Amino acid sequence: MYNRRDFLKQSALLGAATMLPFQAASAAKKTPAKKTPVKKPDTYTVNMNHIRAVPIPPRQIIIPDVEGFKVLKGDFHIHTIFSDGNVTPDERVADAVQNGLDVISITDHFECSPNIYQSKRWNIATHKDANYNIAYEAAKPDADKQNLLLVRGGEITKDMPPGHFNTLFTEDNNAIGAVLSDWRKMLQVAADQGAFLLWNHPGWEAQIGNGGALRFTEIHEEIYKKGWMHGIEIFNWEEYYPIVSDWCNEHDLALFANSDIHPTELEAYGVQSTLRPITLVLAKERSVESVKEAMFAKRTIAWADGLLWGRDPWLPALFKASVVIKTITPGVLELTNISSLPVSVTMGGAVIELPKDRSRRVYRADGVNKITVANWMVGMNKPLEIDSVN
């Protein structure tokens, strides 16, 4: 398996050895020998002693507290070898730490774990022998050691509708795995355990069919009314479903940006990529209990690919905490981004990027009272607007 450690090793070696003996040999073979005696290729000695893999430090994501809440970085949709992922639970923990995350949930499919995959790999014959808690149990010691919060979870995997639902903060996944044939029962058992239920990738074309469009179907209304839906993914893997922003506003649901990662982190996103989705959680403290409380209170913000999607009042509150606005004159404002979040404000068509710790000025025409934050969204086609007059 090609993993991050191999990658680090290889990148450290690149550039250090420009031509190794085997390369010199193959280059020499291409030269026609003719009648001249075959000359032995030159060989080079490369001193490898000074070469060592330089570890990349974990990604630092700086976000100030928001109205007393800590802003935790999370990914609540992750697969491992205990369903159809390629990576072990401990590797997921290491990747999460490397990417600056505070909290993750491993959400292996109930339906292809363990009968299809585990039975082949670990010779587990039937569902009766299944342990649907296995990924959580395997990851927990590493997560504890590395101070990463770990949420027990799973993914109910059905055709649309209802599609796929993550069950987060479950107490015992085996009780859900015991009622596999009936998705309503699965959601009910999870809800009875106090789980947070998340509708995943509502726009995935494999599920909505050719020519299909994203729809909040009658089945989803039923699920919502029964209290079995608490959030929806607006971003999954590398896909956006902007309408989800409106659905969440209309139904009072939490927004999520999750990876749904199956291969290695390196294969999926590369090293510390900004494309990598993160769900920000505004939590009272850095604990699993607090993350759960925050999610049920809908204090989440989806961040992926340079965009943030959130709901009122938390997205404006995050902006207020992250960007300091100083009035130079009534018409001139100086904005400073003190966070790692991408900020791009527009005024009259001018786009003003604000990377971390960068200050830039905005020049306001008389009567223009709003600044638009182009990459922070509060609804579909609806960027956040902030007052430009203090």
Our finding on whether 108 is near Zn ion (CB under 5 A) is no
Would residue 34 be called left, alpha or beta, if left means φ above 0 and alpha means ψ between -120 and 50 degrees?
A: left
Location of structure tokens 């649907």: 132
Residues 39-78 that bind Zn ion (CB under 5 A): none
- Of the pair 163, 310, the CB lying nearest Zn ion is at 163
Q: Which residue is nearest to Zn ion (CB)?
A: 164
Candidate ranges 256-264, 278-286, 320-328, 346-354; the one touching Zn ion (CB under 5 A) = 256-264
Taking the complex as a whole, the smallest distance from the CB of residue 77 to Zn ion amounts, in Å, to: 6
Burial per residue of 321-358, b for 16 or more beta-carbon CB atoms within 10 angstroms, e otherwise = bbbebeeeeeeebebbbbbbbbbbbebeeeebebebee
Q: Count the residues of the shown chain that bind Zn ion, applying the rule CB under 5 A.
A: 4
Location of structure tokens 């579909």: 380
d(CA 81, CA 262): 9
Taking the complex as a whole, the smallest distance from the CB of residue 219 to Zn ion amounts, in Å, to: 16
Taking the complex as a whole, the smallest distance from the CB of residue 377 to Zn ion amounts, in Å, to: 24
Taking the complex as a whole, the smallest distance from the CB of residue 38 to Zn ion amounts, in Å, to: 58
- Of the pair 166, 375, the CB lying nearest Zn ion is at 166
Contacts 24+ apart (CB under 8 A), 328-336: 328/361, 330/364, 330/389, 331/363, 331/364, 331/365, 331/366, 332/361, 332/362, 332/363, 332/364, 333/361, 333/362, 333/364, 333/371, 333/388, 334/359, 334/360, 334/361, 334/362, 335/359, 335/360, 335/361, 335/362
- Please select the residue that binds Zn ion; options are 102, 108, 233, 260, rule is CB under 5 A: 260
With 0-12 / 13-18 / 19 or more C-beta atoms within 10 angstroms meaning exposed / middle / buried, residue 15 is exposed
Here's the x/- map for Zn ion, 190-209, by CB under 5 A: it reads as: ----------x---------
Taking the complex as a whole, the smallest distance from the CB of residue 363 to Zn ion amounts, in Å, to: 47
Here's the x/- map for Zn ion, 140-159, by CB under 5 A: it reads as: ---------------x----
Taking the complex as a whole, the smallest distance from the CB of residue 199 to Zn ion amounts, in Å, to: 10
Our finding on whether 164 is near Zn ion (CB under 5 A) is yes
- Of the pair 71, 186, the CB lying nearest Zn ion is at 186
- Applying CB under 5 A, the residues found at the interface with Zn ion are 155, 164, 200, 260
